[in-house]
Structure 1
């Protein structure tokens, strides 16, 4: 499903409206929310833990996901692999409650600071963060290792949480 950057006004009491992008000054210096969605109708979203500041995940939002996140205060994303709107934690119980949402200078990226329900994990693999491996650089590369695990233990067992649900990772 391809989303567009339609700037029409949504209806309803909890409606969120996005301003049309009229000028650089308006986008960068004024208090109007005028997000810039890419050609696929998506905006990048970096999500961090509200307490530790650790990066939990990088995801994407379409217009509906951004609106629902603003209205509900819980994180919604667009799953590029499954092509569906995704309420983070709806299956796992690891709901991300948004403490703060920011948008960058040219309004083409979102940053969420969240508190995660349950174990606090955000990664479907079972780790706290989706960024559980480090890529060694320069002299830090030992024995040709490509990746080093920085989280030594999973926070939860994905089989217990997701059962036989299909893995969202696509090859």
Structure 2
């Protein structure tokens, strides 16, 4: 793991995230905000991940999508080990402050299964 990606979570009060941005976030009980990731230019939804204040700060300041892994309990930069990087073009906060829209240029597949998007497993039937 790189020195910029410590396994220990950075508390919100110690994050370098702009306080004006931090004040707009409505985090869940674990201090996380959902981050929906979209391909720049096409609008295709690629995946959903979780960010805390520090992951959002790193994303905004490095241009590389950084998330908090709930299962591994560590920060991870998309593509750091796989090479399937997300180069961030824009980040938007929704009206309630509880979700982020991260627009990226995706290199390679976005899904850990090797699929282009995490939403390739088929549609659910909708009854009308």
TM-score, normalising length: structure 1: 0.63
Aligned match of 2:110:
122
Q: Which runs of 4+ in 1 moved over 6 A?
A: none
Structure with bigger strand share is: 2
- Which structure is higher in RCO with an 8 Å CA cutoff and minimum separation 6? 2
The offset of 1:137, in angstroms, is 2.0
SS at match of 1:125: coil
Asked if the contact 1:5/1:37 (under 8 Å) is kept, the reply is no
TM-score, normalising length: structure 2: 0.83
Aligned match of 1:17:
18
How many pairs were matched up? Answer: 119
Distance 2:86 2:67 in 1: 11
Structure 1 spans left out of the alignment, 5+ residues? 11-15, 22-33, 140-171
Identify the match of residue 63 of structure 1 among 50, 53, 59.
53
- CA RMSD for the aligned pairs? 2.0
Structure 2 spans left out of the alignment, 5+ residues? 1-7
